[in-house]
Amino acid sequence: MSMRCPNCNSKDIGKIGSHQFYCWGCFIELTVNGEKMSVYQVEEDGTLSSLDDLFFEEIPQEFPHIHASN
């Protein structure tokens, strides 16, 4: 699987679980489930904080005919 980090564009991605990956370039965790990717910052205490709102825009409800392209 060849993937790039959505944050730093690094290919230095390690697999840490069946659907979980870690970027050694910028130290974020990625969860991939089918076509959906979630991005998390690993906090000092080991907890994860979602960064999805920084990377993935939601389609506005008032414009349901507009589809985001990959």
- Residue 47 identity: T
- Residue 58 confidence (pLDDT): 58
Query: Model's pTM, two decimal places?
Result: 0.71
- Residue 25 confidence (pLDDT): 94
- Residue 11 confidence (pLDDT): 95
* DSSP symbol at 67: -
- Residue 61 confidence (pLDDT): 52
Residue entry with tokens 């790039």: 4
Measured between alpha carbons, how far is 54 from 50 in angstroms, rounded to an integer?
A: 9
13-41 pLDDT, tens per residue?
A: 999 999 999 999 999 999 998 889 999 99
Q: Measured in whole angstroms, how far is the alpha carbon of residue 66 from the centre of its chain?
A: 22
- pLDDT band for 57, please (50, 70, 90 cuts): low
